[in-house]
């Protein structure tokens, strides 16, 4: 409770001191005259634009010249990222094919009975077939985009840069 009371008193003191400062400043402003020169004709405005416009353009050009090497390196990195996305998108398809080939090769040594697999190779065939089926379903969703990332990585790099700037 004491802290709240001290806080309220501090706010009231700050408010009164700010009001007193504003009142003394307004009387000082009323006593002094401030002259601001505003160009009244279009020719004066054009002259100011001509005078300072060149300096602004020169500054902008120097910033662009300094940033160009970094932008080129950034674009190269963005293109490599798109290629990596393409390769990563093809991994489910590649792994599905690998597991499918493994299942066919293991099936040569597998022994089956009417009740199910008889040896360890038969169990591995079932496991590889299930994993292959799951990876194939995942690959259906990712392969198209992965191929696009590999065909035109520059296009997707530009799109990522534009999305970054938004």
pLDDT in tens, 9-60: 544 544 544 444 444 444 444 555 555 555 556 677 667 677 777 777 777 7
Domain membership flag for residue 19: no
82 domain residue, yes or no: yes
CA 53, 57, 59, 64: dihedral to nearest 10 degrees?
Answer: 160
Domain range for residue 141? Answer: 50-165
Q: Is residue 43 part of a domain?
A: no
Instruction: Find tokens 């950034």 and name the residue.
Output: 74
| Residue 39 located in a structural domain | no
Tokens of 14: 């700050």
Does the residue 130 lie in any domain? yes
Can you read off the two tokens belonging to residue 81? 């990222």
Number of domains in the chain: 1
> Out of 66-80, 106-120, 129-143, which region has the weakest mean confidence (pLDDT)?
66-80
Position 45 in a domain: no
Cβ neighbours of residue 109 under 8 Å, at least 6 residues apart?
A: 119, 121
In a domain, 119, yes or no: yes
The answer to whether the predicted template modeling score (pTM) of the entire model surpasses 0.75 is no
């Amino acid at each position: 409770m004491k802290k709240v009371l001290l806080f309220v008193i501090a706010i009231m003191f700050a408010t009164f001191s700010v009001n007193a400062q504003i009142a003394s400043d307004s009387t000082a402003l009323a006593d002094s005259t401030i002259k601001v020169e505003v160009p009244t004709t279009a020719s004066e405005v054009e002259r100011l634009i001509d005078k300072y416009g060149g300096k602004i353009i020169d500054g902008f050009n120097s910033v662009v010249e300094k940033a160009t090497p970094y932008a080129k390196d950034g674009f190269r990195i963005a293109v490599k990222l798109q290629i990596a996305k393409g390769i990563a998108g093809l991994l489910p398809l590649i792994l599905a094919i690998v597991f499918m080939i493994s299942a066919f090769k293991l099936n040569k040594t597998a022994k089956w009975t009417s009740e199910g697999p008889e040896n360890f190779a038969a169990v591995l065939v079932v496991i590889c077939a299930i994993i292959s089926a799951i990876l194939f379903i995942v690959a259906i969703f990712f392969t198209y985009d992965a191929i696009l990332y590999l065909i035109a990585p520059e296009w997707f790099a530009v799109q990522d840069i534009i999305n970054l700037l938004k």
